[in-house]
A and B are shown apart, each in its own frame.
Chain A
């Protein structure tokens, strides 16, 4: 029997027993991408937090790589990469060292060359020796994104990856995510960017208070454009 990377069935998430959105159901297969779309505060990020194990679901079923979510398992952390809006860095570690730590921490050999390659790709090569405090908000965002790609993964979870990125960088990110799918990785992202949905997502889930709906990428992009004119 095949195992989807993520399978959520009537997944209800929230805080203190109070759900933040209607139950969510979707399946994400390897080599595919699902986008969570919806208004601000609709619960997209909360669903993502449940998928990566930072939040216990209120009810419903959630399995990642065939198992119930348990981020305490080393194997889970080895397979699931996430890029949230964690704006926290070691103050004395350079940009290069942050990425090197992540790559080596996952057992990647030749981490130095890989880090240099990613720094180039994410427009951070000039800042390789900079401390995070010297970076702009957008550069720090790119550092976080690069950290998601510098490590092995089967599932990549991204929370509004387009935030604080310019158009060119967004396009490059979209291309990167398409490559991710081709390599067999699964991508789950919450986004407000219709272009990113059209370029990357195979399906979308509209997260809302009353009812969640499965949408096609074009329908989701239209919905986003309507919600954010």
Chain B
């Protein structure tokens, strides 16, 4: 090869399919794609306005309902007592801790979703073009900070108005501060992404902040440190913060072209999968999108699986390995165990309703963390098919790991409730007796079929309710709600009796039987099918 043959990046490409002119701008590329799509999709100004109208109405209704719920909760909370307990936490301090947890969630989500990404077609057809990528990525880069700011303003505003009953002006102040902080966090994550920081690292930082929140709460309770209101920036500070956020926005915009395609593709892929899962109300798929998409590409240490000595123990060992390797779910389990403890030490929240809500919610969150093995098996039942075990046995065995994990959770959570009522032993026994219900719910929700959008629609004031979807989503929560009735009653009465424990044990056995079932239809569908079968037999006998 001679010097004359040599090419470098500055040269004209060696192979030209036609005469070359000026490369169009990124905005032209975007516009061409959008216009072609709009022309084919029949988009018009009217349809755009209708979409905006429905979005505004939906947000207004949802905010109104959330505000109503928060205010109802506030009314139901007892007034701040003159507490002389050794360990307690003020409500504003708890809200502050919740905000710290929300910051962790936001950082984690920003890392998992990019925050800047280009998925599917955009990655394949846009990112290969020799145009300034900033113009292509600008809308995607603006979307997440704006959404984060909007959601933070609404959410924290509602928390402040509902739980702390602050004045309108102060709620506005809190909402503005929250919006700025949220937008700033996402922009910082985008800057980190443009500087080559792994998305998994950002997500890990978020997870650690989230994990630190309950630890901080316990530390604050023990040191008796508290705040009387949610801290906000003074108005001039808010203006300065807004300028800083705007500056970060400009900086991110300038660095958009420095984000590697690999990172953009991964983020875009996760966002596409997550949005699809959210729109179709598929929480399992959402979890998979956010967990697998941000996993660091590292090789795992080979596990010897010494406890696998037969088909049954192999299955349990595999489930245990899945849970052990998922740091996010272990953190989720730990946080969920601390929530009831915290609620019982906050005087304003330590009411029957508050404790019941905390136990059910935290229990559900913890239970969701323990079903990872079953969820993965439902998606790809490779191990299940390789092992000589029938489907019912597989489901029963899949309850073992959630059962053990929830037993640990129950000891902490029910121990706290027992301390709150003054009968630790009784509550611990009730907690142990209720553990199988959680395990059953974990398996039942993991093995639920995909949402059925073809089912009948029921008209409600909020719009049409797809009953097929609701029936599928209820699989799991239904076991929790019905299977824990003795716990409900015990918390509301602040008392555990031997009868309650016996009934709870019976309900636990029923819950395990229901979760072991491999029938996919709802209870009503199964009853109808059974009726039809009986009718057929009757006719045949005649």
Task: Let me know if B523 is at the binding interface, CB within 8 A.
Answer: no
B2: Cβ under 8 A from any A Cβ: yes
Cβ-based interface call for B386 (8 A): no
CA distance A104 to B33 in the complex (A): 12
* B295 CB, min distance to chain A CBs, angstroms: 10
Given contacts A2-B2, A107-B23, A110-B18, contact A92 B7 (CB under 8 A): no
Whether the Cβ atoms of A3 and B7 lie closer than 8 Å is: yes
Select one of B21, B131, B298 contacting A16, CB under 8 A. B298
Query: Which size bracket describes the interface of B in this complex?
Result: 35 or more
Per-position contact with B for A106-143: 1 when CB-CB < 8 Å, else 0?
11111101100010000000000001000000000000
CB distance from B1 to the nearest CB of A (A): 5
- Contact call A2/B128, Cβ cutoff below 8 A: no
**B139 sits at the interface (CB 8 A):** no
Q: Does A98 contact B (CB under 8 A)?
A: yes
Contact indicator B33/A103 (Cβ below 8 Å): no
A31 to B36, CA, bound (A): 37
Provide the residues of chain A in CB contact with B458, threshold 8 Å. none
Rounded to whole Å, the gap between the CB of B33 and the closest CB of chain A is 6
Q: Are B121 and A185 interface neighbours, CB within 8 A?
A: no
- Per the bound structure, the CA–CA distance linking A185 and B3 in Å amounts to 15
Complexed CA–CA distance, A31 and B125 (Å) = 26
Q: Which residues of B contact A98 (CB under 8 A)?
A: 125
- Tell which of A90, A113, A154 touches B125, judged by Cβ atoms closer than 8 Å: A90
Dominant secondary structure of chain A at its interface with chain B: loop
Residues in A whose Cβ lies below 8 Å from that of B131: 74, 105
Chain B residues with CB below 8 A from A104, complex form: 24, 32
A2 to B20, CA, bound (A): 26
User: Is B22 among interface residues, defined by CB-CB distance under 8 A?
Assistant: yes
Pick from B9, B124, B257, B261: contact of A88, CB below 8 A: B124
Q: Is the CB of B20 within 8 A of A109?
A: yes
The interface residues of chain A lying within 8 Å CB-to-CB of B259 are 72
**In whole angstroms, what is the CA distance A2 to B2 when docked?**
6
Q: Known: A67-B8, A77-B130, A107-B21. Is A30-B297 also a contact (CB below 8 A)? A: no
Partner of B262, one of A54, A92, A111, A154: A54
> Which B19-41 residues have a C-beta within 8 angstroms of A?
19-24, 29, 32-33, 36-37, 40-41
Q: Is A229 an interface residue (CB 8 A)?
A: no
* B452 CB within 8 Å of chain A: no
Look across to chain B and name the residue whose beta carbon is closest to the beta carbon of A105: B129
Q: Are B17 and A66 in contact (CB under 8 A)?
A: no
Q: Which of A89, A92, A131 contacts B124 (CB 8 A)?
A: A89
**In the assembled complex, how far is the CB of residue A5 from the closest CB belonging to chain B, in whole angstroms?**
7
B interface residue numbers (CB < 8 A to A): 1-3, 5-24, 29, 32-33, 36-37, 40-41, 119-121, 123-126, 128-133, 257-262, 265, 296-299
Report the minimum CB–CB distance from A206 to chain B (whole Å).
Answer: 24
Answer whether residue A215 sits at the interface, using C-beta atoms and an 8 A cutoff: no
Q: Which residues of A contact B133 (CB under 8 A)?
A: 72
Known: A76-B9, A154-B11. A71 touches B17 (CB 8 A): no
Count of chain A residues with a beta carbon within 8 Å of a chain B beta carbon: 67
Nearest first, the 10 A-B pairs at minimum CB distance are A92-B37, A152-B13, A78-B130, A105-B129, A16-B297, A184-B14, A185-B15, A75-B9, A16-B298, A107-B23
The CA of A186 and the CA of B15, in the complex, are separated in Å by 9
The reply to whether A1 and B15 contact each other, CB–CB distance below 8 Å, is no
Give B119's nearest chain A residue, CB to CB: A88
User: In this assembly, does A199 line the interface, its C-beta being within 8 Å of a C-beta of chain B?
Assistant: no
Closest CB in chain A relative to B452 CB, distance in Å: 24
With the chains together, A151 CA to B128 CA distance in Å?
11
- Within the assembled complex, what's the spacing in Å between the Cα atoms of A12 and B75? 65
Write 13 A-B pairs (CB below 8 A) sorted by A numbering: A71-B260, A74-B130, A74-B132, A77-B130, A88-B121, A97-B36, A101-B29, A101-B32, A102-B128, A118-B17, A153-B13, A156-B15, A186-B14
Q: Which residues of B contact A73 (CB under 8 A)?
A: 9
Task: Tell yes or no: A93 within 8 A of B by CB.
Answer: yes
Are B297 and A72 touching (Cβ within 8 A)? Answer: no
Q: Which of A30, A67, A118, A153 contacts B1 (CB 8 A)?
A: A30
**Distance (whole angstroms) from the CB of B26 to the closest CB of chain A:** 9
